[in-house]
Chains A and B, each alone.
Chain A
Amino acid sequence: MDTFQLVQRALAKRVGVEPSEIAPETELMTLGVDSLDSAELLMELEEVLGVEIEVTSKIKTVKDIVVEIDQACKDG
Chain B
Amino acid sequence: MNRRVVITGMGAVTPVGIGVETFWKNLLAGKCGIGPITRFDPTNSRSSLAGEVSDFDPLQYQDFKTASHTDRCGQFALAAAEEAVSQSGVVGTVDPERAAVYLGTGIGGFETTEANCRKLVEKGPRRVSPYFIPMMIANMPAGSIAIKYGFQGQAIPSVTACASGSNAIGEAVRAIRHGYADVIVTGGAEAPITEVGVAGFNSMKALCTSEDPNAASMPFDKRRCGFVIAEGAGILVLEEYERAVKRGAPILGELVGYGTSCDAYHMTAPKPDGTGAALAVRQALQEANWRPGERVYCNAHGTSTSLNDAAETKAIKIAFGEEEARKVVISSTKSETGHMLGAAGAVEAIVCAMTLRDKIVPPTINLLEQDPECDLDYTPNKAREGEFDLAISNSFGFGGHNACVAIRPCK
Instruction: Kindly state the interface size class of chain B when it binds its partner.
Output: 10 to 19
Within 8 Å by CB of A16, from B64, B131, B134, lies B64
In the assembled complex, which residues on chain A have CB atoms less than 8 Å from the CB atom of B65? 14-16, 32
Beta-carbon contact of B64 and A43 below 8 Å: no
In the assembled complex, which residues on chain A have CB atoms less than 8 Å from the CB atom of B69? 36
Beta-carbon contact of B130 and A47 below 8 Å: no
Beta-carbon contact of A43 and B131 below 8 Å: no
In the assembled complex, which residues on chain A have CB atoms less than 8 Å from the CB atom of B127? 43, 47
Q: Is B411 an interface residue (CB 8 A)?
A: no
In the assembled complex, which residues on chain A have CB atoms less than 8 Å from the CB atom of B152? none
In the assembled complex, which residues on chain B have CB atoms less than 8 Å from the CB atom of A68? none
Q: Is B246 an interface residue (CB 8 A)?
A: no
Beta-carbon contact of B126 and A46 below 8 Å: yes
In the assembled complex, which residues on chain A have CB atoms less than 8 Å from the CB atom of B63? 16
CB within 8 Å of A: which B126-156 residues: 126-127, 129-131, 134
CB within 8 Å of B: which A24-48 residues: 32, 36, 39-40, 43, 46-47
Within 8 Å by CB of B130, from A15, A16, A40, A52, lies A40
Q: Which among A43, A47, A52 has the greatest number of chain B C-beta atoms within 10 A?
A: A43
Mark contacts of A1-27 with chain B using CB atoms, 8 A cut-off: 1 yes-contact digit, 0 otherwise: 000000000000011100000000000
CA distance A47 to B127 in the complex (A): 8
By secondary structure, the A interface counts as helix
Beta-carbon contact of A52 and B134 below 8 Å: no
B69 to chain A, nearest CB (A): 8
Beta-carbon contact of B131 and A52 below 8 Å: no
CA distance A34 to B262 in the complex (A): 43
B357 to chain A, nearest CB (A): 40
Mark contacts of B190-234 with chain A using CB atoms, 8 A cut-off: 1 yes-contact digit, 0 otherwise: 000000000000000000000000000000000000000000000
Residue of B nearest to A53 (CB): B126
Mark contacts of B55-83 with chain A using CB atoms, 8 A cut-off: 1 yes-contact digit, 0 otherwise: 00000000111001100000000000000
CA distance A39 to B130 in the complex (A): 7
CA distance A32 to B68 in the complex (A): 13
B67 to chain A, nearest CB (A): 10
CA distance A52 to B127 in the complex (A): 11
Residue of A nearest to B59 (CB): A16
CA distance A36 to B140 in the complex (A): 16
CB within 8 Å of A: which B244-293 residues: none
In the assembled complex, which residues on chain B have CB atoms less than 8 Å from the CB atom of A15? 64-65
24 A–B pairs (Cβ distance < 8 Å), ordered by A: A14-B65, A14-B68, A15-B64, A15-B65, A16-B63, A16-B64, A16-B65, A32-B65, A36-B69, A36-B130, A36-B131, A36-B134, A39-B130, A40-B129, A40-B130, A40-B131, A43-B126, A43-B127, A43-B129, A43-B130, A46-B126, A47-B123, A47-B127, A52-B126
Q: Which 8 pairs across A and B sit closest by C-beta, in order of nearness?
A: A39-B130, A16-B64, A36-B130, A40-B130, A40-B129, A36-B131, A32-B65, A40-B131
Interface residues of A (CB under 8 A from B): 14-16, 32, 36, 39-40, 43, 46-47, 52
